[in-house]
Structure 1
Amino acid sequence: MLEKHKDDRKSPGAWRATKDGFGNGTPTSSFFPKDHPFPFLTRKFLQWTFYLLLPFIVFRFYFYPSPPPSHLAIPLSSLPLNSSPSSSSSFPPQLPEEEGILSKETACDYTQGKWVPDKMGPLYNGTTCGTIKDGQNCMSHGRPDLGFLYWRWQPQECQLPRFDPNEFLQFFADRHIAFVGDSMARNQLESLVCMVSSVSPPNLVYKNGDDDNKFRRWHFASHNASVSIYWSPFLVKGVEKSKNGPDHNELYLDRIDERWGKDLDGIDTIVLSIGHWFLHPAVYLDDGKVLGCHYCPGLNHTEIGFYDVLRKAVRTTLNTISDRRGDGIDVILTTFSPSHFEGDWDKFGACPKTEPYGEGEKLLEGMDADMRKIEVEEVESARLGIGGNQKKVRLEALDVTRLSLMRPDGHPGPYMYPFPFANGVGERVQNDCVHWCLPGPVDTWNQILLQVIKRLRRQ
Structure 2
Amino acid sequence: MTRTRSATCSRGAGDDAEHPLYREEACPYIHPQLTSQARGRPDTAYQRWRWQPHDCTLPAFDAVRMPEALRDKRMLYVGDSLGRGQFASMVCLLQSAIPDDAAGASKSFKMSADQQHTVFTAREYKATVEFYWAPFLLESNSDNAAVHRISERMVRRGSIGYHSRHWEGVDVIVFNTYLWWCTGLRFRILNGPWEDAGKETAWEWVSTEEAYGMAFRDMLQWVRDNMDFNTTRVFFTSMSPTHQK
TM-score (norm 2): 0.76
Query: What's the offset of the Cα at 1:117?
Result: 4.1
Which structure 2 residue ranges, 5 or more long, are not aligned?
A: 100-107, 194-199
2:35 paired residue among 125, 137, 145: 137
1:313 paired residue among 205, 215, 239: 215
Q: Deviations over 1:351-395 (max 9, x none)?
A: xxxxxxxxxxxxxxxxxxxxxxxxxxxxxxxxxxxxxxxxxxxxx
Match of 1:248 in 2: 152
Change (3 A) 1:340 1:320: closer
Match of 2:16 in 1: 116
Match of 1:394 in 2: none
Match of 2:51 in 1: 153
Query: What's the offset of the Cα at 1:340?
Result: 4.8
Match of 1:275 in 2: 178
Change (3 A) 1:125 1:205: closer
Q: What amino acid is the match of 2:179?
A: H
**Alpha-carbon distance between aligned partners in 2 of 1:166 and 1:131, rounded to the nearest angstrom:** 18
Q: What amino acid is the match of 2:134?
A: S
Match of 2:77 in 1: 179
**Alpha-carbon distance between aligned partners in 2 of 1:163 and 1:122, rounded to the nearest angstrom:** 11
**Alpha-carbon distance between aligned partners in 2 of 1:177 and 1:332, rounded to the nearest angstrom:** 11
Moved over 6 A (4+): 299-302
Match of 2:117 in 1: 215
Match of 1:230 in 2: 132
What is the root-mean-square deviation of aligned Cα atoms in Å?
Answer: 3.2
**Alpha-carbon distance between aligned partners in 1 of 2:47 and 2:111, rounded to the nearest angstrom:** 30
**Alpha-carbon distance between aligned partners in 2 of 1:249 and 1:207, rounded to the nearest angstrom:** 25
Q: What amino acid is the match of 1:204?
A: K
Q: What amino acid is the match of 2:75?
A: I
Please list, as runs of the form range in 1=range in 2, the aligned pairs for 1:197-212 lying within 5 A after superposition. 197-200=95-98, 203-208=109-114, 211=115
Q: What amino acid is the match of 2:188?
A: V
SS of 2:92 mapped into structure 1: helix
Could you tell me the percent identity over the aligned residues?
A: 25
2:165 paired residue among 262, 272, 292: 262
Change (3 A) 1:115 1:252: farther
Change (3 A) 1:125 1:305: same
Query: What's the offset of the Cα at 1:341?
Result: 5.7
SS of 2:50 mapped into structure 1: strand
Query: What's the offset of the Cα at 1:216?
Result: 0.8
Q: What amino acid is the match of 1:207?
A: A
User: 8 Å contact 2:117–2:131 — kept in the other structure?
Assistant: yes
Q: Deviations over 1:317-371 (max 9, x none)?
A: 12112113458431110132456567xxxxxxxxxxxxxxxxxxxxxxxxxxxxx
1:166 paired residue among 60, 64, 88: 64
User: 8 Å contact 1:275–1:310 — kept in the other structure?
Assistant: no
Query: What's the offset of the Cα at 1:312?
Result: 1.8
User: 8 Å contact 1:241–1:248 — kept in the other structure?
Assistant: no
User: 8 Å contact 1:253–1:316 — kept in the other structure?
Assistant: no
2:191 is aligned with 1:191? no
**Alpha-carbon distance between aligned partners in 2 of 1:147 and 1:324, rounded to the nearest angstrom:** 41
User: 8 Å contact 1:108–1:158 — kept in the other structure?
Assistant: yes
User: 8 Å contact 2:111–2:120 — kept in the other structure?
Assistant: yes
**Alpha-carbon distance between aligned partners in 2 of 1:123 and 1:241, rounded to the nearest angstrom:** 32
Q: What amino acid is the match of 2:13?
A: G
* Higher share in strand: 2
Match of 2:103 in 1: none
User: 8 Å contact 1:250–1:283 — kept in the other structure?
Assistant: yes
2:183 is aligned with 1:285? no
1:333 paired residue among 212, 236, 239: 236
Change (3 A) 1:142 1:207: same
* Higher share in helix: 1
Aligned length: 221
Q: Deviations over 1:47-103 (max 9, x none)?
A: xxxxxxxxxxxxxxx766xxxxxxxxxxxxxxxxxxxxxxxxxxxxxxxxxxxxxxx
Q: Deviations over 1:210-230 (max 9, x none)?
A: x4xx42101112322110000
TM-score (norm 1): 0.43
Q: Which structure has the greater CA radius of gyration?
A: 1
User: 8 Å contact 1:241–1:249 — kept in the other structure?
Assistant: no
SS of 2:51 mapped into structure 1: strand
SS of 2:52 mapped into structure 1: strand
Change (3 A) 1:108 1:169: farther
**Alpha-carbon distance between aligned partners in 2 of 1:283 and 1:233, rounded to the nearest angstrom:** 15
**Alpha-carbon distance between aligned partners in 1 of 2:67 and 2:10, rounded to the nearest angstrom:** 25
